[in-house]
Amino acid sequence: MRLAYYPGCTMKTDAKNFDESTYSAAEALGIELLEPTRWNCCGTVHALAKDNVMNYLAPIRNLIRVEQMNEAELVDDKRVVTQCAMCYNTLKRANAAAKADPDKMGKIRDFMEKEPNYQGSVSVVHMLELIKGLGWDEVKSKVVKPLDGLKVSPYYGCLLLRPREYGIDDPDHPTVMEDLLEALGAEVVDNPYKAKCCGAYHAVHMKEVAADLSYRILKQAQEAGADIIVTACPLCQFNLGDRQNEVKKHQREFEGIPVVYYTQLMALAFGKEGTGFEQNTPDPVPVLEEKGLL
Amino acid sequence: MEENESEMVTIHVMGKKHRVPADLTIMKAMEYSGHQFRRGAGCRGGYCGACAAMYRVKGSYKLQGALACQKIVEDGMYIAQIPFSPAEKITYDLLELRPDANTFLEYYPEISRCLSCNTCTKACPQDIEVMDYVQASLRGDVEEAAKLSFDCISCGLCAVRCPAEIVPYNVGQLARRLNSRYLIGPTKHVIKRVEEVEAGEFDADIDELKRLDRKTLQERYEGREVKL
């Protein structure tokens, strides 16, 4: 029997006796071991290392810049507010990991050289957490155009809620968007798929997967009587909203439902310009007009 | 030149050891030690970007970048010139572009590989926030990318060092072109001056200059009014 044999570097240095006896033993057993003509490090250390700081540089640099804003007294405190669910998740987790591991923080500092050190003083908050912190009565008091009669189904997706320790709400039964929508005067329509995956990046290379997952969410909201769906994540918005034509290719009876960001309904209820509805696909304006909100 | 040992340092130019005066730039030290520049030298004033060099100093693993005409040698320095960084010269018609993120991604899609490691910024001899302008380009902030990259002299050190194989200086150039064409627009005083030139307002002056002998021309040049 002739087999490929990968010895690894230690067998050729400190464990030559291991290597040599391996060949001897194998030979006695009628096994011929053959090394690849060229081989490199098996990758241990690198493959198993937890001290690869490259993933942390981008998020930590952003947190350093928040510290600098605070030092320059441009902002009131050391919180940084995020909106995009992906950014929130990334910054939050990188922040926690760096704070929890001084050794990692040291390596990040070493790599960043002349850049200022991260003091670990920033806290990452999501806009929804900030709004919740203000209190729903405060939100209610700013409403000039209550969303009366508008049936809204909130959709959370995954990154705002998971992993649990970094989520902004209960990952299985979130309520923050429901509370917000009620404060805006809307009628909340529950969707059991509100925290299930929209298909995320499958939208790029497996469109049908994203379309199927998104359809499940859209259909459920529609069957429950929703006029409109709100999201809190650009990727969810893309899959549920912009990609509805893709959904229709697979589900011919599907008629479409507008999908907007929760802040767009806030701006509307607060009587503000700059709702940005012109950028939404499908167009939410007809249903909002029908409800007398535009 | 008489050697004063206390003012001499040892450098290694492409592996070969030389003793050179301590106050020379890399470029002058290389010339002092017998090198003649056919490429990799231009304005000698830190403006043209032709003389990119990389070096290490004794006792440090750090690979550093500099302009050879600006950086003063250090004792124990290991030096190599990088007179050119290979990069595809993309052709585009500026009049048919849009000043947004997709334009950058269409011509330089590799910018989406940026890890934000900031190695490009560390390599920049102009102290430009290179990574920040690549990131600004990625999100379509043409004005910011143009502003941040304004001092770029395309020396190429950022491109040589980037682990994502981005050519930042080309991205910055595209940003500045988009900014000029679409965001700032034509500059009024330039348009006015071009009209004056085309109307022949300076023809007599140019003809006069053309007829001057070298000495007078030099006197005129040295005695000219410089407005800063």
Same domain flag for A86 and A142? no
Same domain flag for A142 and A280? yes
The mean per-residue pLDDT over the stretch B135-144 comes to 95
Answer yes or no: do B118 and A54 touch at CB < 8 A: no
Chains A and B form CB pairs within 8 A to the count of 15
For chain B, list the domains and their CATH numbers: 5-81 (3.10.20.30), 94-184 (1.10.1060.10), 188-222 (no CATH)
Same domain flag for A101 and A235? no
Q: Which residue of A53, A57, A91 is the best one to mutate when testing the B interface, meaning the one whose CB has the most B CBs within 10 A? A: A57
| A168 Cβ neighbours under 8 A, 6+ residues apart | A88, A126, A128, A129, A160, A161, A174, A176
Average pLDDT, chain A: 94
Which token pair is A222? 């529609």
Same domain flag for A163 and A23? no
Write down the pLDDT at residue B73: 97
Same domain flag for A236 and A223? yes
For residue B116, list chain A residues with Cβ-Cβ distance below 8 A: 57-58, 61
Option in A58, A113, A114 nearest B116 (CB): A58
Same domain flag for A284 and A190? yes
Same domain flag for A27 and A63? no
DSSP-derived letter for residue A240 is: I
Residue B34: Cβ-neighbour burial (10 angstroms; 0-12, 13-18, 19+): exposed
Taking the Cβ of residue A18 and every Cβ of chain B, the question of whether any pair is shorter than 8 Å is answered with no
Q: How confident is the model at residue B6 (pLDDT cuts 50, 70, 90)?
A: low
Does residue B3 carry a pLDDT above 70?
no
Taking the Cβ of residue A84 and every Cβ of chain B, the question of whether any pair is shorter than 8 Å is answered with no
Answer yes or no: do B118 and A115 touch at CB < 8 A: yes
Q: How confident is the model at residue A44 (pLDDT cuts 50, 70, 90)?
A: confident
* Cα distance between residue A186 and residue A146, in whole Å: 7
Q: What is the pLDDT of residues B32-81, one digit of tens each?
A: 999 999 989 999 999 999 999 999 999 999 999 999 999 999 999 999 99
Peptide bond into A102 cis (omega under 30): no
Does residue B5 carry a pLDDT above 70?
no
Measured in Å, how far apart are chain B's first and last C-alpha atoms? 37
Locate tokens 């960084």: which residue? B85
Task: Report, in angstroms and rounded to the nearest whole number, the Rg of chain B calculated over CA atoms.
Answer: 22
**10 Å Cβ neighbour count for A127?**
17
The mean per-residue pLDDT over the stretch A172-185 comes to 97
Q: How confident is the model at residue A53 (pLDDT cuts 50, 70, 90)?
A: confident
Same domain flag for A241 and A279? yes
Residue range of the domain that includes A107: 54-127
Taking the Cβ of residue B64 and every Cβ of chain A, the question of whether any pair is shorter than 8 Å is answered with no
Locate tokens 């899609």: which residue? B109
Same domain flag for A260 and A140? yes
Q: What is the pLDDT of residues A245-268, one digit of tens each?
A: 999 999 999 999 999 999 999 999
Domain-terminating residue out of A71, A92, A127 = A127
Domain-terminating residue out of A108, A127, A146 = A127
Q: How close does chain B come to A6, measured CA to CA in Å?
A: 30
Kindly identify which residue of chain A lies nearest to residue B129, measuring between CA atoms. A115
Write down the pLDDT at residue B122: 94
Taking the Cβ of residue A111 and every Cβ of chain B, the question of whether any pair is shorter than 8 Å is answered with yes
Write down the pLDDT at residue B23: 95
Taking the Cβ of residue A39 and every Cβ of chain B, the question of whether any pair is shorter than 8 Å is answered with no
| B211 Cβ neighbours under 8 A, 6+ residues apart | none
Taking the Cβ of residue B187 and every Cβ of chain A, the question of whether any pair is shorter than 8 Å is answered with no
pTM, 2 dp:
0.83
Percentage above 70 pLDDT, chain B: 97
User: Which residue has better confidence, A38 or B202?
Assistant: B202
Answer yes or no: do A115 and B116 touch at CB < 8 A: no
Residue by residue, DSSP assigns B18-84 as: EEEETT-BHHHHHHHTT---SSS-S-SSSSS-TTEEEEE-TT----EEEETTTPBP-TTEEEEE---
Q: In a 3-state reduction of DSSP, which class is residue A77?
A: coil
Angle at A231 between CA A226 and CA A233, to 5 degrees: 165
* Cα distance between residue A87 and residue A100, in whole Å: 20
Which token pair is B185? 């627009």
Locate tokens 């509100």: which residue? A194
Q: How confident is the model at residue B2 (pLDDT cuts 50, 70, 90)?
A: low
Same domain flag for A188 and A249? yes
Answer yes or no: do B117 and A57 touch at CB < 8 A: yes
Domain-terminating residue out of A104, A127, A150 = A127
Answer yes or no: do B118 and A112 touch at CB < 8 A: yes
The total number of structural domains that make up chain A:
3
For residue B117, list chain A residues with Cβ-Cβ distance below 8 A: 54, 57, 111
Does residue B149 carry a pLDDT above 90?
yes
Taking the Cβ of residue A61 and every Cβ of chain B, the question of whether any pair is shorter than 8 Å is answered with yes
Kindly identify which residue of chain B lies nearest to residue A54, measuring between CA atoms. B117
Same domain flag for A108 and A158? no
Q: What is the pLDDT of residues A85-95, one digit of tens each?
A: 999 999 999 99
Average pLDDT, chain B: 94
Same domain flag for A58 and A42? no
Taking the Cβ of residue B115 and every Cβ of chain A, the question of whether any pair is shorter than 8 Å is answered with yes
Q: Calculate the CA A101 to chain-centre distance.
A: 23
Q: How close does chain B come to A57, measured CA to CA in Å?
A: 6
